[in-house]
Amino acid sequence: MKLSRRFVVLTVAAALVGVGAAPAYASPADDFYTPPTTLTSAPGTVIKTEPMPLYLAAPGAGGSYPAVAQRVMYTSRTENDEPVAVTGTYIDTAVPWRGSGPRPTVVVAPGTVGQGDQCAPSRAFPLALNLTTDPLSLSANQELVSSTLWGSMGARVFVTDYIGLGTPGVHTYVNRPEQAHAVLDGARAATALAGDPDSPIGLWGYSQGGGATAAAAESAASYAPDLNIKGTWAGAPTADLLDVLNRVDGTLIGGVIGYALNGVLERNPSLRSRVEERVSDYGKAVLSDLSTECIADTILKYPFLRTETLTKDGLSMSENLRSIPEAGPIFDKLRTGTLTPSVPVLITSGVNDDTVPYGQARDLANEWCGQGASVTFRSNPLPPILPGAVLPNHFGPQIIDGYGGEAAAYLMDRFADVPTAGCSID
């Protein structure tokens, strides 16, 4: 189904502006994010829910967007196959489904929001922003546009918070298996809440979210064969973590390297001593600080962070990690592309992306094609603008490809069971 570019643009604009006056709103109590002592071993089980207001819900088709949202806690699994609680946001809408086939559920994997518990997207959904004073921190709901786009087309929407955001423990940022599990189990929780276990499912994500949906697509056959996944958009996927860390070093959001390293050490304590012997006292303090921050805080406090300022030898964190023998197998395990997606995938990437390297995204498409998967890869030719500033070169392609209509049209075709062309790499 071909989407009207005007419809998509108007929907996005409405989401960015918002409608209506926002009444007084108390942020969710921390006790909602506290899981029960004992967790069920069944992944995707809904543990609890609570109503969530959407004060900035924007109008969709016909000028209305009647929606009901819930904050959700559900079960998932760590990379070590241990049960863990994850939170997220479920949005149902009375808008009629605009596409073909049964009404679908779109599972959104958010882009980078940070590593502190206050950064969980579900905390920012009601007002689009979450401001805390202890710690002093600001987090934005980056997925307001995505949720409004799909909700206004009549799809159910589920946005995962990922493992460790809001809930106890360190958020394991860009951890391939754990992001895949959070997305797929979020889909299970959403279909349970909808009372429709056979609901067609689309996976939607960009940047960290693109890495998460790519990981989910290649893990679905073995981890969640019960789900009726029709297609996936993986925009600027973080497929090769070491390559991504090397590229982002020194950019406006260079501090995200700390998020990734904190997450790796959380799951691989045997690596901690080898890393800590190479990190200076200042570096250790920075890593600890980053573990409690949202991305806006990190940009304000550590803009253009270069990781050689954190090490004793003055070499970058990537160079240090590549020289630690134990680190290689760990990062290999986190690389996307070792499994074969059982569902069609659209990968988009900007040729001048200064945050998530174009080459590793294209390599992922080629790897999957070589394995017989159905993959469409599209390059975004946006020219470089202020390299290292992130906003134009990384988020520009997201706006063009994700909200310009191509990614949504791709999923709409999958929901309509339009055949794919196998592999198509531009």
Query: Residue 63 — very low, low, confident or very high, per pLDDT cuts 50/70/90?
Result: low
pLDDT of 143 > 80? The answer is yes
Q: Is residue 357 within 8 Å of 268, Cβ to Cβ?
A: no
Residue 204 has a pLDDT of 98
The class of domain 5-239+343-425 in CATH terms is alpha beta
> What is the mean predicted confidence (pLDDT) over 44-49?
97
**Pair of tokens at residue 397:** 């392609």
Quote the distance between the C-alpha of residue 39 and its chain's center. 24
Number of Cβ within 10 Å of residue 216's Cβ equals 34
CB count in 10 Å sphere of residue 221: 15
What's the confidence (pLDDT) of residue 64?
A: 56
How much is the pLDDT for 392? 85
Q: Is the confidence at residue 342, as pLDDT, over 90? A: yes
Say what the pLDDT of residue 26 is. 43
pLDDT for 3 equals 54
- DSSP bridge partners of 380: 350
Average pLDDT over residues 75-81: 97
The pLDDT, as a whole number, for residue 11 is 43
Report the alpha-carbon distance of residue 177 to residue 180 in Å, rounded: 5
Three-state secondary structure string covering the chain:
CCCCHHHHHHHHHHHHHCCCCCCCCCCCCHHHHCCCCCCCCCCCCEEEEEEECCCCCCCCHHHCCCEEEEEEEEEEECCCCCEEEEEEEEEEECCCCCCCCCCCEEEEECCCCECCHHHCHHHHCCCCEEEEECCEEEEECCCHHHHHHHHCCCCEEEEECCCCCCCCCCCCCCCHHHHHHHHHHHHHHHHHHHCCCCCCEEEEEECHHHHHHHHHHHHHHHHCCCCCEEEEEEECCCCCHHHHHHHHCCCCCCCHHHHHHHHHHHHCHHHHHHHHCCECHHHHHHHHHHCCCEHHHHHHHCCCCCHHHCECCCCCHHHHHHCCCCHHHHHHHCCCCCCCCCCCEEEEEECCCCCCCHHHHHHHHHHHHHCCCCEEEEEECCCCCCCCCCHHHHHHHHHHHHCCCHHHHHHHHHHCCCCCCCCEEC
Higher pLDDT, 188 or 126: 188
Q: Where does residue 154 fall: left (phi above 0), alpha (psi -120 to 50 degrees), or beta otherwise?
A: left
Please provide the size of the chain in residues.
426
pLDDT value of position 65? 56
- The per-residue pLDDT for range 354-401, each reduced to its tens digit, is 999 999 999 999 999 999 999 999 999 999 888 767 678 998 999 999
Residue 121: how many CB atoms within 10 A of its CB? 27
For residue 59, what pLDDT is reported? 56
Distance between the two ends of the chain, CA-based, in angstroms? 21
Distance, in Å, from the CA atom of 395 to the CA atom of 185, rounded to the nearest integer, reads: 27
- CA distances to 29, 86, 300 from 132, rounded to whole Å, are 13, 21, 16
> In the chain, which residues fall in CATH 3.40.50.1820?
5-239+343-425
Architecture of domain 241-332: Orthogonal Bundle (1.10)
Contacts 24+ apart (CB under 8 A), 317-321: 317/245, 317/249, 317/257, 317/261, 318/242, 318/245, 318/246, 318/249, 320/275, 320/278, 321/242, 321/245, 321/275
Residue 188 structure tokens: 């299970």
Q: What tokens were used for 364?
A: 């992922």
pTM of the model: 0.92
Query: Which residue intervals of the chain bear CATH 1.10.260.130?
Result: 241-332
Residue 321, CA distances (Å) to 272, 355, 417 in order? 11, 19, 44
